Amino acid sequence: METTGGVMDSLESKPVAEESPDVALIIATGEGDHRAFERFVIRYQNRIYNFITGYIGDRYAAEDLTQEVFLRVYGSSQRFRPVSKVSTWVFRIAYNLCMNEIRRRIRARDFHKNYRQWNEDFAVPSGSDPIERLEIEKILNTALGDLPERQRAALLLRVNEGLSYAEIGSVLSVSIPSVESLLFRARQSLKRKLDRRDKADSEVPRNLLE
């Protein structure tokens, strides 16, 4: 990966209490340690790629955006201050890039037409009937693509990445009650889509609807 820089999103003002391997890697990167940057990329590249793919539904664009995330991380590393969890900071960069990409696609009128959900975390359990499983996955994929942007992001960060409500709030720049509301509305929307097709909740991954 090329190591040219970008611009860091602003961070919160309170310092993180403890050091972490991620913080050490970013600080070392800012001091010119290219191996530290490579290690950081290895730690995060799959998570960031999966989040972006799930958010915009395009594997090829997700590859480019994932690279852009790490270019921005590298470019920001010299100015980095450990004021929040590194994972929250990186996902915020990814989220902002996704928002920019979706706005671009909406202007081009091709987002909903081309949306696909590729992340296996939303796959229906393999014990289901294959035809039934494919139908449910299709419904979920369509429903996920139809969710408002912040609802979709909150759900992906919670289900795929296991982020806490506070961490999701930091990524999306909203309060914890707002995160709770986003997740509730997203899950209710998915449930309504399934109910219209008479699909039982037991056929859907538990962590998606709870």
- pLDDT (tens digit per residue) in 66-118: 999 999 999 999 888 877 789 999 999 999 999 988 878 766 555 444 444 43
pTM of the complete model: 0.71
| Delimiting residues of CATH 1.10.1740.10 domain(s) in the chain | 8-119
Instruction: Please tell me the distance from the alpha carbon of residue 75 to that of residue 52, in angstroms, as a whole number.
Output: 20
pLDDT confidence bin for 38, thresholds 50/70/90? very high
Q: For the structural domain made of 127-210, what CATH number should be given?
A: 1.10.10.10
Please determine, for residue 10, whether its predicted confidence score (pLDDT) is greater than 90: no
Residue 189, C-beta contacts closer than 8 angstroms, at least 6 positions apart: 143, 146, 147, 151
Residue 110 · residue 38 · CB < 8 Å: no
pLDDT per position as a tens digit, 132-160: 667 777 777 777 888 888 998 999 899 88
Task: With a cut of 90, say whether residue 64 has pLDDT above it.
Answer: yes
Domain with CATH 1.10.10.10 in the chain: 127-210
CATH number of 8-119: 1.10.1740.10
